[in-house]
Every structure is written in structure tokens, then in C-alpha cells.
Amino acid sequence: MSASKRDELVAKAQDIFYREGFHATGMDRLVAETGISKTSMYNHFRTKEDLILATLQHRHNELHAQLMARTEELAKTPKERILASFDSLKEWIESGEFRSCMFIKASSEYQDPTHPIHIAAAEHKRSGLRYLAALAEAAGAKEPEVLATQLMLLKEGAIVSAHLEGHAGMIEAAKAAAHTLVETAVAAARL
């Protein structure tokens, strides 16, 4: 299988796992929906878990780039970008493709914190945290890591709430709370 065929398989498997779940999706289902033979699949991925890890890496690269690029399009300053990150999150939730967070799902299905799938999901979240911490530091916030953690909690809570409630209204509430946190952290740095 060529690299492009491998990438195509990973993208198709990602869609299936995102829609159906990891444990609920067997290799026979993947073969049927992707049109790739089981032999070809196992030539590139020794196990279903190897394929899951590839889909998580693909999703991380895709989603992280998409959300960061959109955030930077929406705002110019670091402080504005922190708040715009909630707008890009809202756009994703309202896109019609939102089915909660694939990484939250992965960590829920693979709960052992030492499992490679759980580790990959946690690293995705840490990556978002690092991005917010860099923005908070550039915005001049006092204790940027603390602010980033608070913002991440708001985002994660909003994602779960949007999934449960079926709409993005929770993002607006989270953004309003984020605005207060950012203003407070920046003002505290000036004292």
C-alpha cells in the first residue's frame, strides 16, 4: 500500500472510530467500510491499536492546525487570540461534523493512564494547554500556566456540555468566563 493509500485508510478509519467508537469498531467493520483488505491493513498496522494511534495522530495534526489557523485568522493580539480560540471551537462544534472530542472518547475507552492510546489522547490535550500558555504569557498574564489550565478546563467543559446538550451555547458561556479570567490575570500582572 502506498503512502497515499495508507493516509486514505487512516482518514477513513478516523471517521469510523470518531462516529462509532474504538471498542465498538472491529477490524471486519473497518475492512467493509474502507474497502481495504484485512491483509493490507495488517501489512501497515500490526494491531487495531496501532491503527487507532495513527488515527489519533492524524486527528491531532488536522484539528490542531485547523483550530490554531482559524484562531489566528480571527484575532491579531495574543489576548484577542485567547478569546478567539473559543470562537474557532464554536465553529467546529457548529460545523455539523462535531461528535464530541475524539481524544476524550479515546481516554474514556482506554482508561489506563499508561496505555499508549490514553497517552496519545493526553498529549493532545497537553498540546492545547501549551498553546494557551504561550498565548497567556505573550498577553502578559500573571501566572500564564495557571490561566492556561483554567482556560483549558472551560474549553473541555464546554466541549462535553455541547456534546450532551447538542449545541454550542455552552461555548459562549465559557468564552464570557474566559474573558473575566484573562482580564484578571493581565491586570494582576500589572500590579
Name the pLDDT band for 4 (thresholds 50, 70, 90).
confident
Helix (H, G, I), strand (E, B) or coil at 115: coil
Answer yes or no: pTM beyond 0.75: yes
- Domains in the chain, start-ordered, CATH in brackets? 52-190 (1.10.357.10)
Round to whole Å and give the CA distance between 176 and 171: 9
Give the pLDDT score at 44.
87
Report which residue type is found at 93. Answer: I
pLDDT, one tens digit per residue, over 123-180 is 999 999 999 999 999 999 999 999 999 999 999 999 999 999 887 789 999 999 999 9
Distance of CA 31 to the CA centre of its chain: 26
Report which residue type is found at 169. Answer: G
Round to whole Å and give the CA distance between 163 and 108: 15
